[in-house]
A and B are shown apart, each in its own frame.
Chain A
Amino acid sequence: MQVKEEKINKDKFARSFRSPIPILLALVAVVFCIPLVVKDPSWLQLAILTMWYAYLTCSWNLVGGFAGQLSLGHAAFIGIGAYTSTALYLHFGLSPWIGMFVGGAFAVVAAITVFYPCLRLLGAYFALASIGFAELIKILTENTTKIFGIEIRGPRGLSIPPLGHAPFHYQFVNKAYYYYTILIMLLIAWFITYRISKTKLGYCLSAIRNDVEAAQSLGVNISKCRLMAVSLSAFLSAIGGTFYAQLLLYIYPEAVMGIMLSCELAFIALIGGRGTVMGPIIGALIYVPASELSRIYLSGGRFLGVHLMLLGIVVMAVMLFQPGGLMRPIGRVYTRWVKKLEPRVQKV
């Protein structure tokens, strides 16, 4: 009797590994300890950027993955977030901790008014429309020096005067603070996508992605679902934009609204596995360190553009050999490992 109960408990334990929560907890435990060991700011910066990209790709994934609409214009939301919080801080002295929510609200407004009507467009048309949206916002920013008396200085960008260690103004000297900030943001964004994938909204979105008409005929409220996905995605992206502005203390339109940033997010999601919960994190873990290190060690010197060339090759290879993203083979190895665990438990 005792043995049987133990068996069931162990079985449950093994089965619980089927959800991504346990590996994630283990990862988080490791990741939380990194700044205690690694003190070199450049390595911490790399880790911060990796998590920043993972965070943005998580929020991209709500539209690009779950809603199945390939967006190549998410940089617009990031830019809106970065510019709003920075301009409010420089002009009114409003703390970016509050400004980031204002930026998020603006991004949601932009998403609903401009981006959302595009969602009825299909596939490639939507991708083109989203590029048009982001480029339009970038060009308008580049050609505006003042908006309602608030300086945004066009293509020269905005720089935030460094204050040293000022937690209230979202500025830190020690990179570890940024590290923990983005880690918490990433966990929240990841948890939101995880929850959505397990709730009605997620099922509705995947129904819409697979067949719009069929979903509609089954009573799925298409506009409401898409509206929620897009607004949430825009809000999270904008907050990510504020983080970038505070991390680097300098923003300009091409960096935070450029088409390259939008494409990078889509590529990371595709490398990892579009529409999967773990895809963005795996994609960012593969892409960002490879890109940053090759940018530093290769592109900085003689080999200009090598890191983007490699990215192009990786994207093509993934599309040719693993169109579902690298999440799928990794997931297969993982489930095999879990299955191996189960019979061993039963033998007891």
Chain B
Amino acid sequence: MVIIQALINGVLMGGVYGLTALGLTLIFGVMKVINWAHGSFIMVGMFAGYWLWTLTGIDPYLGLIIIVPALFLLGYFVQDALIKPVFRSEVGVREPIGVLILTAGLWLFIDNFALLLFGPFYRTARTPYSGLTYDVGGLLISAPRLYAFIITIVAAYVLSTFLKKTRLGIAIRATGQDRDTASLMGIDVYRIYNIAFGIGIAITGLVGSLLVPFYYIHPQAGFVFDIRAFIIVVLGGLGSVPGALLGGLLIGLIESVGAQFIPATLTQGIIFAVFLGVLYLRPQGLFGFEKEW
């Protein structure tokens, strides 16, 4: 029973990890860039949701309507103003890591700016459903985690339909497959990059506000998700949408089931060990989907 409970918790949390990784993998799939500041944007989303709730009383789920577009715009302009110039200067370089470093700088800046503004305090938002649990045959399911999981699945479905069906989605995929050919087909590649980065950051905003009801809010809270998302996208194969979701579930399960047998801090070690093992043996990722979107 305890194990089943742990499995459920693992799946619910894994969905959130998977969604985080989805944003990262979208950015990587299109731009071939690893966004170090990914977790920081989650933290931005968390604080946005938190302040909306405490100051104006707007429910974190309702706040999504404001936060997601706002973070899309933020991502769009960060990409346009900061990443694009570095990206352009590195077009011919074999292993472009300039953008990686730039986003690492962005990560330091955002996290510590939040620290300066909000202080090193752990905050929690007390929403009416924060402590609410559903009792399903003796198994306790936390309501906000369940909602987060459902929204995650919906968001992943919407995103993959968008990428498959709409003109813009097809343009994004085309740019990811072959930038030069895409630009020959009349696609404004840098605009597509802006949009892809914007979508990735909008997803972090979504994750951030979903976390508000049940997670602690702290300037460095995003970093946990940063490292997790890196591991997940490598596990699932960089650039693969189903891989990101499955990798997220796997990490969530390792974390919660592992904690039943060994100290919780050591489960982090297992995650890193799995990660290194996958990198040695299968650098293309566990599931081996090669750009299946």
Contact = CB atoms under 8 A, between A and B. Distances in A.
Contacts of A124: 34, 95, 97, 100
A125 B234 contact: yes
Among A132, A266, A320, the one with the most B-chain Cβ atoms within 10 Å of its Cβ is A132
A110 interface: no
Nearest to B116: A305
30 contacts: A124-B95, A124-B97, A125-B234, A125-B279, A127-B97, A131-B227, A133-B276, A135-B272, A136-B272, A136-B276, A139-B266, A140-B269, A143-B266, A143-B269, A267-B104, A267-B105, A304-B119, A305-B115, A306-B112, A306-B116, A308-B111, A308-B112, A311-B108, A312-B107, A312-B108, A313-B109, A315-B102, A315-B105, A316-B105, A323-B90
A312 B82 CA distance: 13
Interface of B: 34, 82, 85-86, 89-90, 94-98, 100-102, 104-113, 115-116, 119-120, 219, 227, 230-231, 234, 263, 265-266, 268-269, 272-273, 275-276, 279-280, 283
B279 A121 contact: yes
Contacts of B275: 129, 132
Given A123-B95, A142-B265, A143-B263, A70 B115 contact: no
B269 A139 contact: yes
Place the interface of chain A in its size category: 35 or more
Interface in A246-273: 263, 266-267, 270
Contact of A309 (B108, B263, B273): B108
A192 interface: no
A122 interface: yes
Contacts of A140: 269
Contacts of B90: 323
B169 to A, nearest CB: 25
Nearest to A117: B280
A139 B265 contact: yes
B269 A316 contact: no
A174 to B, nearest CB: 35
Among B82, B89, B115, the one with the most A-chain Cβ atoms within 10 Å of its Cβ is B115
Contacts of B227: 131, 135
A195 to B, nearest CB: 26
Q: Is the interface of A mostly helix, strand, loop or mixed?
A: helix
Interface string A107-124: 000000010011001111
Contacts of A135: 227, 268, 272
Given A143-B265, A143-B269, A263-B104, A320 B85 contact: yes
A115 B48 CA distance: 40
A175 to B, nearest CB: 30
A320 B275 CA distance: 32
A313 B276 CA distance: 31
Contact of B116 (A143, A304, A311): A304
A319 B101 contact: yes
A67 to B, nearest CB: 12
A121 B95 CA distance: 11
A132 B275 CA distance: 7
A143 B96 CA distance: 36
A211 interface: yes
A303 interface: yes
Interface in A303-334: 303-306, 308-309, 311-316, 319-320, 323
Given A132-B231, A315-B102, 14 more contacts: A68-B95, A70-B100, A124-B34, A129-B279, A132-B276, A133-B272, A135-B227, A135-B268, A139-B268, A143-B263, A305-B219, A311-B105, A313-B105, A320-B85
A177 to B, nearest CB: 34
Given A123-B96, A128-B234, A139-B272, A323 B119 contact: no
